[in-house]
Amino acid sequence: MSMTYLFPTSHTPDDSGEAFPSVHVANSRKIAGLGLAASITLDRKWFLSFRLPEVMPTGTPKLKIVSLADADTGTVVVEPQWAFADDGEDWFNVTVNLEGDTTITWGASDNHKDKVTKIPLDAASMAGKEGQRLGMVLKFDATSTLAVVSTHAVFVIWE
């Protein structure tokens, strides 16, 4: 089964210093992604932009997050907030769709293992939005308990 992966065309952290570009390194393997500091003190945000395909894939659109950390306990709580915008439209002033909080949990022996999370992007329909920008604020909630730096690769998929 082939799957369409949409990668962000832009990804920018907030100005807190607790969200930053990151590379997770383990056993000579390196994975780049969205970094999040250990024990964040307030909600932290990554600003993402995706360009939707000219022909929409079939299936349900989902935000796929692959998370890595050298941890065997703790959580990261994420909430995608997203909207569409046509070329030339001010997408910073559009009403966003909220998907609610999703918790990513590390347990015993989870250190350096991919934690794969799929969040359906179903708060609004993507029908008729071909070729538009999907702007997203990926909020990392201050209720997260992970006490080490984490790295998150993000994609939009359909399945």
Whole-model pTM?
Answer: 0.94
Which pair of tokens denotes residue 148?
A: 């080490």
Give the span between the Cα atoms of 137 and 46, in whole angstroms.
6
pLDDT of residue 89: 83
Quickly name the fold that domain 5-158 has. Answer: Jelly Rolls (2.60.120)
Give the mean model confidence (pLDDT) for residues 152-156. Answer: 97
Condensed to tens digits (0 to 9), the pLDDT of residues 65-112 reads: 999 999 999 999 999 999 998 888 887 788 889 999 999 999 999 999
Residue 34: pLDDT over 70: yes
Residue 1: pLDDT over 60: no
Give the span between the Cα atoms of 8 and 153, in whole angstroms.
10
Do 54 and 128 form a contact (C-beta atoms < 8 A)? Answer: no
pLDDT of residue 86: 83
pLDDT-derived band at 23 (thresholds 50, 70, 90) equals: very high
Condensed to tens digits (0 to 9), the pLDDT of residues 123-132 reads: 899 989 999 9
Name the percent of the chain lying above pLDDT 90: 82
Name the percent of the chain lying above pLDDT 70: 99
Rounded to the nearest angstrom, the gap between the alpha carbon of residue 21 and the centroid of all alpha carbons in its chain is: 13
